[in-house]
Structure 1
């Protein structure tokens, strides 16, 4: 930053002028506009690049989007290696990636209370076009990221392309799938959850994965995470990956948390270990704070009293309406000891909910026949009611109690609502199960006909290289579920290409994630014709 740039910045921030409010033009929209902090560090100096966690954009609307970064010159040290003082960060937005035409610029504060992360909500932009952004602090300049505004609600839109991905266990493979996503021409990315895993470093030796010997490719830093600094450091370790950073910089993201951002299979105020709820809520609160600090989220999602506002909608003109759901924060506790089991009376209890009554009502209010050609449910866990054989070879069939199959009343209400509303243009996208599963969705009594279809995306790395299709679990699961059209234990993502009359999806896979830079393949492709529910092989 030149001396003249610094003088203009300090003047805009009111530095040295008691009682001057930070300029709304520079900080807007911000809930933190106030007199310049007494402890403001006006001339930060770094001997190491402070932008080691990259940049990101997210939650686009027709007139703007969020841009994000976090200052962390030493990401795995406490505080990211930062001086514990607020400091000014400038940003620029341009119409080209060379920044020949800068159309907006401003400054915000990176504060230690939020781990020196910044979330700038840019407004007042024309709709339906890309933009490029970058940040500056001191003499350091960030990488360039690409954002985009949505089309107006009234616009005719002919095509939207997006990727569905998540479950990125750091220890279990390279993030090559994120690099391949970065290479795709996409309108947005939907991350369905499990951005981090909360477990401890399991050491350098061999362990078991799916009954097979496995040695971690990479290792977590530290033990199981509980404190705010633990969660911040784990996010920073994941965010340090260059392939993941490339995907964040390539397109705007919509994000959801699932369970591992806090603790495996948590549900509302209950964890899997029997911790008293009032104690688990302390852990949940710091996990949510660290999640907010590392995601391109709007201020509306900033945690308040240990809760986050995560469900919302976004639309791409008249083509696509997306309903982003939160299936962790309001759900009832899992039944049957949180283990796969039979769909008994407890699993079907009408008093239990996956979304909570308020979110469920919100969803139904917006999930209605309207001018949109398609509606998508973007959420965390499988809606398909998949039957499985017990892994110990026992008799009968079992179902996941953590997915919608363990919340039968909620599942019946949702599919019943879609059917009763006469909607034949709904598609579900989700993840969590570490395999691709592509299914037509029926009511559990199987006499409803196909109501809609689902693409459950496999993991980025969780499960390592995988078994492909040549395993007993795949064979028995496919035999038990006639409406399951594809299933494979490989890593990758789902690529959706939505046009006015057709939804096309490719199940993308990598042969290996334990070696770097593998080529991406298409395992299978499917088409849904608008107005004709049901998957067809493409």
Structure 2
């Protein structure tokens, strides 16, 4: 047995042991960070005693609501509505919420107020209102916030269909990886105009860097996108740092328009906290390998808690949260991001969290060992049970990092590209794929972000050329909005380069991959009908601040009842 295997055995045994031990100092740090006012949970509205709170104009809208509004966390009978009041504009008093059938709000569906006690600096003056139980299934509404005589912009939100009803089609805009310092958000200006039902964001909504650490060394620079964290560090350390990043990212007008127009279903990846983060079961604390404080359990816990707090404040998403006084001590056991969304009888979307519970990646390529986990034992079992029980026509996995193997290069430099993805957790991946095969799961589609690449290929029970490698699903990766792709990392590719990233080279080394392009930025539209899943990639110029050009780059189709990727001519 290798030293890596020995470490895995010790880690697994220690994981079991720690479940019954006294809390470590790092965990006590979590309790202090997540204090009484530490997590901005959604609130209900109450009926106002003064109806004049709904009288408003829009002369100072952007001054009062600088991050505009958003909706998310859809259910069949509600959504979460979000906004932030500029701290200098909030002098107390309620914030009113109005939901209607059109922009006039002449026939209000819901009116209520958020009381001042819920609008505090402790939560960065953000407001998240839960309307679950107050709306009708499969319906679109308008909404706005009002504070002290000023109305926010008007947004549109949508509820889920009743899970027991017949649904003809569902269309998603799928996005990921939007490094503010590496380009403009022209993709969002086009997403705002798309006729889609929901927006899915698969993670890296922000990057924790303020010094261009993740920006391209060879492409355009964007001096008007420079950042300066309140702590003075290059990487985020504090809750104020993460809040600053969200407030800056969400000040972008293109991003605002898209979130005003579409209801968000949000996941996260690593950069919402720190690059390549994972859970260290030996110390029972987060590990942030790229952060200068990431090896210190107490500091890593504080940083992770600060980042999660900011994410919960800024992203309208339904999470399960258990305060420390209810008996759950560990940070990664107190949050449950994973969730399923039912779109009638047509689609079940299963969203997983692949950061809070993951083990460290292997130290070398192909170094995976039995027992290493990305999902954690409980979440993996929930995931498998959810898929087993799914009765919808299409089962869709909202997944953070690439599941398929990806080998790059030739000869001595050939290697698996990213062990931080499922390439580093191949044993657990095989468990999932074999379960799908055993249970005869069909129409299984995985939507993936992270790699800043447009890609489509086949998920199999194995990838050994001489093994029994049954196809069980199709993976569709959406390109980055702005983040560095492989064409920026390895410029000037030609036939003499050993590290060839052309589509032909990649698909030759990886025959399970049908389509690969890491030279574009943009988004994808994924539509599900009774006949097929259709995936369309749009390339959008990230170097232009206004009027960015859009081009349909690729369309592929997976017919119902098959595991076949078919090209669709433009």
Deviating more after overlay: 298-307 vs 319-328: 298-307
**In the alignment, what sits opposite 1:532?**
562
3-state SS in 2 of match to 1:407? helix
Deviating more after overlay: 104-113 vs 212-221: 212-221
**In the alignment, what sits opposite 2:221?**
215
3-state SS in 2 of match to 1:423? coil
Q: In structure 2, how many angstroms separate the alpha carbons of the residues matched to 1:196 and 1:372?
A: 33
Question: Residues 184 and 104 of structure 1: is their aligned pair in 2 closer, same or farther, counting only changes over 3 Å?
Answer: same
Select 2:463's aligned residue among 444, 454, 457. 444
Select 1:418's aligned residue among 436, 458, 468. 436
Question: Residues 47 and 248 of structure 1: is their aligned pair in 2 closer, same or farther, counting only changes over 3 Å?
Answer: closer
**In the alignment, what sits opposite 1:276?**
296
Count of residue pairs brought into register by the alignment: 480
Q: Indicate if the aligned counterparts of 2:100 and 2:106 stay in contact, CA closer than 8 A.
A: yes
Q: Indicate if the aligned counterparts of 2:486 and 2:501 stay in contact, CA closer than 8 A.
A: no
1:440-489 per-residue CA deviation (whole Å, 9 max, x = no partner) reads 11223253232110111110011279569984323532321112111112
3-state SS in 2 of match to 1:477? helix
**In the alignment, what sits opposite 1:17?**
none
Question: Residues 199 and 302 of structure 1: is their aligned pair in 2 closer, same or farther, counting only changes over 3 Å?
Answer: farther
Select 1:320's aligned residue among 347, 359, 375. 347
Q: Indicate if the aligned counterparts of 1:399 and 1:406 stay in contact, CA closer than 8 A.
A: no
Q: In structure 1, how many angstroms separate the alpha carbons of the residues matched to 2:45 and 2:303?
A: 25
Select 1:382's aligned residue among 362, 383, 402. 402
3-state SS in 2 of match to 1:102? coil
Question: Residues 395 and 195 of structure 1: is their aligned pair in 2 closer, same or farther, counting only changes over 3 Å?
Answer: closer
Structure with the greater relative contact order (CA < 8 A, sep ≥ 6): 1 or 2? 2
Which TM-score applies when normalising by structure 2?
0.79
Aligned pairs for 1:35-114 (under 5 A) are 49-72=63-86, 80-81=87-88, 87-108=93-114, 109-114=118-123
3-state SS in 1 of match to 2:211? coil
Deviation at 1:124, TM superposition (A): 2.5
1:105-145 per-residue CA deviation (whole Å, 9 max, x = no partner) reads 10113222111111111123221110111001112210111
Deviation at 1:293, TM superposition (A): 0.7
Q: Indicate if the aligned counterparts of 2:416 and 2:423 stay in contact, CA closer than 8 A.
A: no
Aligned-residue Cα RMSD (Å) equals 2.7
Q: In structure 1, how many angstroms separate the alpha carbons of the residues matched to 2:470 and 2:388?
A: 20
**In the alignment, what sits opposite 1:227?**
238
Aligned pairs for 1:52-451 (under 5 A) are 52-72=66-86, 80-81=87-88, 87-108=93-114, 109-122=118-131, 123-202=133-212, 209=216, 212=218, 214-217=220-223, 218-222=225-229, 223-268=234-279, 269-273=286-290, 274-298=294-318, 300=320, 306=331, 307-336=334-363, 341-344=364-367, 347=368, 349-368=369-388, 370-389=390-409, 394-442=412-460, 443-446=462-465, 447-451=468-472
Select 2:513's aligned residue among 484, 495, 504. 484
Q: In structure 1, how many angstroms separate the alpha carbons of the residues matched to 2:134 and 2:257?
A: 27
Determine if the alignment matches structure 1 residue 493 to structure 2 residue 511.
no
1:55-108 per-residue CA deviation (whole Å, 9 max, x = no partner) reads 011111111111000112xxxxxxx5466x764111000011221211111011
Deviation at 1:202, TM superposition (A): 4.2
Q: In structure 2, how many angstroms separate the alpha carbons of the residues matched to 1:408 and 1:434?
A: 21
**In the alignment, what sits opposite 2:534?**
504
Determine if the alignment matches structure 1 residue 474 to structure 2 residue 483.
no
**In the alignment, what sits opposite 1:42?**
none
Question: Residues 213 and 160 of structure 1: is their aligned pair in 2 closer, same or farther, counting only changes over 3 Å?
Answer: closer
1:275-315 per-residue CA deviation (whole Å, 9 max, x = no partner) reads 22222011000000011111112363588664432100110
Q: Indicate if the aligned counterparts of 1:486 and 1:524 stay in contact, CA closer than 8 A.
A: no
Name stretches of at least 5 consecutive residues in structure 2 with no aligned partner: 1-40, 47-59, 280-285, 494-499
Question: Residues 227 and 88 of structure 1: is their aligned pair in 2 closer, same or farther, counting only changes over 3 Å?
Answer: same
3-state SS in 1 of match to 2:415? coil
Q: Indicate if the aligned counterparts of 2:77 and 2:134 stay in contact, CA closer than 8 A.
A: yes
3-state SS in 2 of match to 1:195? coil
Name stretches of at least 5 consecutive residues in structure 1 with no aligned partner: 1-27, 34-45, 73-79
Q: Indicate if the aligned counterparts of 2:71 and 2:80 stay in contact, CA closer than 8 A.
A: yes
Determine if the alignment matches structure 1 residue 458 to structure 2 residue 479.
yes
Which TM-score applies when normalising by structure 1?
0.84
